[in-house]
Amino acid sequence: MAEVTNELMYELLKKLNQRFDKVDFAISELRADNQTLRGQLHVLQGDVNNLRTTVVHIENRLDRIEHRLELRELQEAQAKFEPHP
């Protein structure tokens, strides 16, 4: 078995320190990626909300159009039964 010396411990600690530096860098990159993804999700949620609002406006307009058409159809149907001069 190799003798444990101060130099050996020092070299091992240096290697561990280098590895921890790499891990810290990787974690910081992951955090940055996570923040970017969160920002994109917020933008996407805003887009979905805008689409929902647009669909609601279209549905309201369609309801008004359908309502007007039903009124006109009722008038046309009523005109069939009224005497014409």
Q: Under 8 Å CB-to-CB from 2, ≥6 apart: which residues?
A: 8
Q: What is the reported pLDDT for 37?
A: 98
Q: Confidence band (pLDDT; 50, 70, 90) for 3? A: confident
Is position 53 within any domain?
Answer: yes
Is position 43 within any domain?
Answer: yes
| Number of domains the chain contains | 1
Strands, E assignment, 8-50: none
Strands, E assignment, 1-85: none
Using the 8-state DSSP alphabet, how is residue 2 labeled?
P
Is position 63 within any domain?
Answer: yes
Is position 21 within any domain?
Answer: no
Does position 38 have pLDDT exceeding 70, yes or no?
A: yes
The range of the structural domain enclosing residue 47 comes to: 39-79
Does position 27 have pLDDT exceeding 80, yes or no?
A: yes
Mean pLDDT, rounded, for 35-64: 97
Is position 26 within any domain?
Answer: no
